[in-house]
């Protein structure tokens, strides 16, 4: 298990380096001049040229990439082109908001496990059919639609939840209050998706020999389900939840914009549009670590639950 863990961590580091390099090349290939962003239209060509030189933008892409990684190694992520504040400071200010949003959405998404499990046990029953219909409907709904309707109903009509901002981070109740609608916006589709996944997986496991044998031996149904069926049925969902970190993170972009929440998603959106390269790279780096970290943790949990995964990778 230790060797497996080391291998996974090394692989994760390699993936992060590749992803960041690819992103670096991609954003520099897109048309747009950061000197215009930083200095505005009224700057003289000389001032713009001096800035390009300072940012190494007048040099080949490979040299720029070298300077980027050199900076990373020394802990220098560069400076925001507009405010001139260190990128790392800005990203770290925003990270907790996104981390809390994503983690909460992931936790809430796990509601899909008991729902899917119950639907599988009562296969083709009323509950199963209702959950099936609702799940498919909510999976198909984009976050922007869910978010706007939640806002219109709960914030404008009922006035029970706030519309904008993250709330006061020093008052956890206020923060939680502001977090509720964004979390529902992101996780509602995942609850549906995970419930369908667990249901399908559970139905398959329930028909397997070891489960039928356990039942034949007269073990109580709750014990059979919790000890022998659910443990296996939940594995694909855990893998999927690892992958879902990436999807949830991308959902945060639109969610943070709709709810005017601070966070990495809205920061990334703004910085891409304004060609604020250092800020884009800082945000992408942290997001990549977040995503690759999530999938690595999911793999390690999988391996702990199912030792065959370790052997297959040896």
The CA R_g of the chain, rounded to the nearest whole Å, is 24
Binding residues for other proteins, rule: CB under 8 A, are 30-33, 36-37, 39-45, 47, 50, 80, 82-85, 90, 93-94, 148, 151-152, 155-156, 159, 162-166, 257-260, 262, 266-267, 270, 272-275
Q: Distance from CA of residue 99 to its chain's centroid?
A: 9
Partners of 86 in the β-ladder: 79
Tell me whether residue 130 or residue 164 sits nearer to other proteins (CB atom).
164
What's the distance, Cα to Cα, between the start and end of the chain in Å? 10
**What's the closest the beta carbon of residue 173 comes to other proteins, in angstroms?**
14
**What's the closest the beta carbon of residue 261 comes to other proteins, in angstroms?**
8
**What's the closest the beta carbon of residue 123 comes to other proteins, in angstroms?**
21
**What's the closest the beta carbon of residue 156 comes to other proteins, in angstroms?**
5
Residue carrying the six token digits 């910085």: 271
Residue carrying the six token digits 């009509």: 157
**What's the closest the beta carbon of residue 50 comes to other proteins, in angstroms?**
7
**What's the closest the beta carbon of residue 83 comes to other proteins, in angstroms?**
4
**What's the closest the beta carbon of residue 284 comes to other proteins, in angstroms?**
16
Tell me whether residue 144 or residue 232 sits nearer to other proteins (CB atom).
144
**What's the closest the beta carbon of residue 269 comes to other proteins, in angstroms?**
8
């Amino acid at each position: 298990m230790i060797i497996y863990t080391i291998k996974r961590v090394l692989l994760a580091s390699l993936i992060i380096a590749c992803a960041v390099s690819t992103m670096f090349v991609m954003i520099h290939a897109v048309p747009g001049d950061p000197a215009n962003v930083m200095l505005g239209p009224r700057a003289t060509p000389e001032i713009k040229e001096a800035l390009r030189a300072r940012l190494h933008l007048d040099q080949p892409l490979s040299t720029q990439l070298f300077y980027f990684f050199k900076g990373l190694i020394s802990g220098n992520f560069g400076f925001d082109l507009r405010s001139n504040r260190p990128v790392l400071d800005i990203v770290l200010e925003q990270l907790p908001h996104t981390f809390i949003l994503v983690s909460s959405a992931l936790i809430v998404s796990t509601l899909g496990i008991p729902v899917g499990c119950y639907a599988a046990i009562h296969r083709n029953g009323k509950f199963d059919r209702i959950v099936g219909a609702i799940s498919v409907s909510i999976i198909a709904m984009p976050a922007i639609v869910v978010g706007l309707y939640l806002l219109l109903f709960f914030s404008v009509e009922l006035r029970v939840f706030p519309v904008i901002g993250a709330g006061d981070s020093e008052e956890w109740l206020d923060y939680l209050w502001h977090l509720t609608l964004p979390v529902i916006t992101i996780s509602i589709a995942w609850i549906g998706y995970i419930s369908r996944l667990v249901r399908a997986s559970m139905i398959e496991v329930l028909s397997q020999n070891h489960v039928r044998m356990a039942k034949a031996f007269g073990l109580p149904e709750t014990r059979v389900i919790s000890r022998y069926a659910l443990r296996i049925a939940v594995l694909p969902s855990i893998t999927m939840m690892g992958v879902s970190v990436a999807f949830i993170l991308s959902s945060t972009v639109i969610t943070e914009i709709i709810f005017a929440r601070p966070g990495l998603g809205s920061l990334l959106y703004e910085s891409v549009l304004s060609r604020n390269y250092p800020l884009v790279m800082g945000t992408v780096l942290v997001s990549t670590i977040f995503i690759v970290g999530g999938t690595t943790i999911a793999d390690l949990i999988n391996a702990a639950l199912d030792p065959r995964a370790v052997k297959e990778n040896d």
